[in-house]
Amino acid sequence: MRAVQRFRRLYGAAPAHLAGFALSAAAAGYAIREFLHSDAPARLFIWFFGAIVVHDLVFLPAYSLIDRVLSRRPAAGLGPARYARARVHIRVPTMLAGLLALVFFPLISRTDRSDYGDASGLTPDAYLHRWLWVAGGLYALSAVIYVFRVVHSRRGNPGR
């Protein structure tokens, strides 16, 4: 026990933190190695750089502005705590649906010119419908969880 306390004092965090950092650094190193040894590192670099620029110049200001607007005026009939909880239940499915849209954008928009159909045996025609179903399912699941949390908190849960 004393060694752990000494380690925590010297390092500033628990040993598990250092182990997690080492694992994530190893995973990042492996990803960089694979990136540099891929068939088209220039194309990957351009895609990665473009993703950073588009995120920082377009998406970050957009969702920050939307969140700021939503955080200023609570919805009618909701207290501040319930409104904050409702915002989370809107943010999470929106973020996940947006991430899926970004990852699968070439297939959703049918602009993928690769040999996707030959390699997978599938056509990209159904990706838009599937993405809409998944996004709708994420919002529905989030709504069900929100209703469950509201009902559960109204029952006077002593653990909360």
pLDDT tens for residues 68-85? Answer: 877 776 656 666 667 777
Instruction: Decide which of 134 and 1 is more confident.
Output: 134
Is the residue at 66 inside a domain? no
Q: Fill in the amino acid letter for 101.
A: A
Does residue 144 fall inside a structural domain? yes
C-alpha to C-alpha distance for 34 and 45, rounded to whole angstroms: 12
Same domain, 78 and 33: no
pLDDT of residue 80: 67
- % pLDDT > 90, the chain: 21
**Residue 87: exposed, middle, or buried by beta-carbon count in 10 A (0-12, 13-18, 19+)?**
middle
**Domain check: are 31 and 85 in the same one?**
no
Question: 26: domain range?
Answer: 1-37
Residue 33 has pLDDT above 80, yes or no: yes
Query: How far is it, in rounded angstroms, from Cα 18 to Cα 11?
Result: 8
Question: Is 80 exceeded by the pLDDT of residue 98?
Answer: yes
In a domain, 95, yes or no: yes
Number of domains in the chain: 2
